[in-house]
């Protein structure tokens, strides 16, 4: 005979709002048992891909000096940038976009960028714009100089460079603002 595993909203509410530690422990135990009923063992391939990605992230680690940061590239490490930018936060009441300058010289400008909803369409003729997502997610809508359109979905760790003359806008798809390291690399005329 199969045990009834149905849980209703009232029961969940009672469990969450109850301050009795014994009931909390019983609830945790019940939820663990419930989760085990639907537990799936990940494939061997998935496990290997996750372990390989962790290895890749750890292999190329470096300490980033924000006074003399490296150029942002497709090989930039999410963990390194996250650590380097720890403690840099946007104002609580920023509107839709906030750029926090980190570094600037004759060739490059580097920012931490936060976007709540959208970056309006823009096009650059004198610089390459690159960014890596640090938190959140977004979709980049890109149209090249020939009118070909593409969409690129991005999550933490993803990197992209907008080529000269590409029209692009960015739409945030995460609940919280998307945070990125943004680089503007000037191109010689």
SS3 136: coil
DSSP-assigned letter for residue 173: -
d(CA 43, CA 172): 31
What is the reported pLDDT for 93?
93
Residues 168, 91: one domain? yes
Q: 69-118: per-residue pLDDT in tens?
A: 999 999 999 989 999 999 999 999 999 999 999 999 999 999 999 999 99
Task: Output Rg (C-alpha) for the chain, integer angstroms.
Answer: 23
Number of domains in the chain: 2
Both tokens of 90, joined, read: 């946007």
Range of the domain at 87: 45-186
Are 31 and 70 in a shared domain?
no
Same-domain pairing of 84 and 169? yes
Q: Which two tokens stand for residue 38?
A: 């639907």
Mean pLDDT per block of 10 residues along the chain (189 residues) reads: 69 67 80 86 86 79 92 93 95 96 96 97 94 98 95 97 95 97 89
**CA 108 – CA 179 distance, rounded (Å):** 19
CB proximity list for 163: less than 8 A, separation 6 or greater: 128, 144
Q: Are residues 19 and 65 in the same domain?
A: no
**Do 172 and 136 touch, CB atoms closer than 8 A?**
yes
In 21-174, where do the E strands start and end? Answer: 97-104, 108-115, 118-122, 127-135, 137-143, 149-155, 159-162, 167-172
Residue 158 lies in a domain: yes
Predicted local distance difference test score (pLDDT) of residue 18:
62
């Amino acid at each position: 005979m199969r045990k009834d595993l149905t849980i209703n909203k009232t029961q969940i509410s009672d469990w969450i709002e109850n301050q009795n530690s014994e009931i909390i422990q019983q609830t945790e135990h019940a939820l663990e048992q419930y989760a085990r009923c639907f537990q799936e063992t990940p494939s061997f391939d998935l496990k290997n891909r996750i372990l390989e990605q962790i290895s890749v992230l750890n292999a190329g680690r470096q300490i980033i000096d924000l006074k003399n940061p490296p150029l942002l590239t497709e090989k930039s490490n999410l963990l390194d940038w996250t650590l380097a930018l720890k403690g840099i936060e946007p104002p609580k009441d920023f509107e839709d976009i906030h750029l926090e300058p980190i570094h600037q010289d004759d060739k490059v400008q580097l920012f931490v960028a936060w976007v709540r909803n959208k970056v309006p369409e823009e096009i650059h003729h004198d610089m390459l714009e690159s960014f890596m997502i640090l938190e959140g997610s977004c979709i980049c809508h890109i149209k090249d100089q020939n009118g070909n359109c593409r969409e690129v979905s991005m999550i933490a760790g993803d990197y992209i460079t907008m080529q000269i003359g590409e029209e692009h806008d960015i739409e945030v798809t995460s609940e919280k603002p998307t945070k990125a390291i943004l680089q503007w690399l000037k191109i010689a005329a």
